Amino acid sequence: MRFELTVKAMDPLLRVIAPWREWDIRSRDDALAYARAHDVPIPTTEKSMYSRDRNIWHMSHEGGILEDPWTEPQEEMFCLTVSPQAAPDTPHYLNLGFEKGVPVSIDGKAMGAVELLTCLNELGGAHGVGRTDMVENRLVGMKSRGVYENPGGALLYTAHQGLESICLDRETLHYKDVIGQRFAELVYYGQWFTPLREALSAFVAKTQERVTGVARLKLFKGTATVVGRKSPHSLYREDFATFGQDDVYDQRDAEGFINLFGLPLKVMALVDKQNGEMVGLEAPDYSHFKRD
């Protein structure tokens, strides 16, 4: 799907030859037999029937025992990440720098995209970060299970999300989450070269204009946690957010806001009461709670 939609978009006159559809290869066993007959070196065997794809972003594992969604992946299957149980007992901290949403440095050292992601893959993999076991909803309608390793991508996603939390206003951040779901579907379905994907990319690019700064991550036993974030464009103001006494926020201002914000609920309840449709709420029963 993804390859052929791209071909159609780039050169609609090209003919696609798909051996799986046109030859007598109907199963993975047939493919293995063909490879042996033609001396094609492949790592897959009847005992290790995983279908794997790998690039700088990830490595996917499908097929074999994974076709049973109840079966736990075997540890020897993983190639890029160590088991979280075997990861170092000491957490590792790193600072990821971003400029307009683009990762540009690790611990203050400027890096290009390939060098940066390669480094993050090694760091994340060494700490067991980036394993995902999921059942997907394919475009054709059926479900399939895949196990993925993307240590570098997991670190980038976590750090970027942490930085966005202080750089984007509430409405933009929340709407970007909605856009993200649709964007992911377009990519998953192979619809990269479409007007909608280009339009959504333009929206995302606009949101990233202020996403510049550093996110601090803590890597430990298969987890990556944001433990710090800073940006010259940060919308977080300690003097606004403090729970202590301040001159910025008057608690009395909340009364009018709450009255206006809750007005629809109040009107609906008044109408229901007037029409005799007010639903009585059952009082909570605290009798089963015991005091020490």
DSSP 218-279: EEETTEEEEEEEE-TT----HHHH-SS--SS--TTHHHHHHHHHTHHHHHHHHHHHHTT-PP
**CA–CA gap between residue 214 and residue 138 (Å, rounded):** 36
**CA–CA gap between residue 208 and residue 128 (Å, rounded):** 29
**Amino acid in position 80:** L
Residue boundaries of the structural domains of the chain: 1-42
Cβ pair 114, 56 in contact under 8 A: yes
Residue 44 is predicted with a pLDDT of 65
pTM reported for the whole predicted model: 0.84
Give the chain's length. 292
Q: Between β-strands 109-110 and 51-54, what pairing exists: parallel, antiparallel or unpaired?
A: unpaired
CA dihedral 123, 124, 128, 129 (to 10 degrees): 160
Residue 81 is predicted with a pLDDT of 98
Cβ pair 111, 104 in contact under 8 A: yes
Tell me which residue of 205, 203, 210, 204 sits closest to 235, measured CA to CA. Answer: 210
> pLDDT per residue over 171-215, tens digit each?
999 999 999 999 999 999 999 999 999 999 999 999 999 999 999
DSSP state of 213: E
Where the chain has pLDDT below 70, the residues are 44-49, 241-249, 290-292
CA angle 152, 156, 157 (to 5 degrees): 115
For residue 76, what are the contacts with CB-CB under 8 A and spacing of at least 6? none
Residue 25 is predicted with a pLDDT of 83
**CA–CA gap between residue 53 and residue 153 (Å, rounded):** 16
Question: What is the SS3 assignment for 25?
Answer: coil
**CA–CA gap between residue 248 and residue 161 (Å, rounded):** 28
Neighbours of 50 (CB within 10 A): 19
Sign of the CA dihedral with 224 first, then 230, 232, and 237 last: positive
Cβ pair 166, 235 in contact under 8 A: yes
**CA–CA gap between residue 248 and residue 236 (Å, rounded):** 14
